[in-house]
Amino acid sequence: DVVATSRDGRDGTVAFDVTKVNVASTVQDLAKDCSAVVSTIGTIGTPEDTTINGASALAANGAKAAGVKHFVYISVAPEVREWAKDFEFLQNYMEGKVFSEKSIATYFSGGSDD
């Protein structure tokens, strides 16, 4: 089975707006009996970039608590990270992404078997 989420629950997905829910506990509930979670949580150019882009860290916490073995995180390419340093409007975006990457690494070791 697959559980899919979207911000507003459209097209048969589960409504999951990371600015309005307890992300870790919601993911823990949604991920019960799942073997993997794929996180594509993200936004750019909004006042909530840091919060939203950092939500994958909270999702990883919830997934780990649910017993999920694999966590796939769609982040940002290293070249983009380097390029973004020169643009102030991308700083909150990058802060959230870096926070998520570091946090996920603490919950899931990052090896090919995790």
Q: pLDDT tens across 14-41, in order? A: 999 999 999 999 999 999 999 999 999 9
Local confidence band at 1 (pLDDT 50, 70, 90 cut-offs): confident
Q: Is the pTM of this model over 0.85?
A: yes
CA pair distance 100, 55, nearest whole angstrom? 7
pLDDT number for residue 38:
97
Predicted local distance difference test score (pLDDT) of residue 114: 44
In the prediction, which pLDDT does 5 show?
Answer: 97
34 with 45: CB under 8 angstroms? no
User: Looking at residue 112, what is its pLDDT?
Assistant: 45
Alpha helices in the chain (DSSP H): 23-30, 49-65, 78-84, 91-107
Question: Side-chain half-sphere of 88: how many Cα atoms within 13 Å?
Answer: 0
Type of residue found at 21: V
SS3 88: helix
Q: Could you report the per-residue pLDDT of 53-100, keeping only the tens digit for each?
A: 999 999 999 999 999 999 999 999 989 988 999 999 999 999 999 999
pLDDT at 111: 52
Q: What is the pLDDT of residue 98?
A: 92
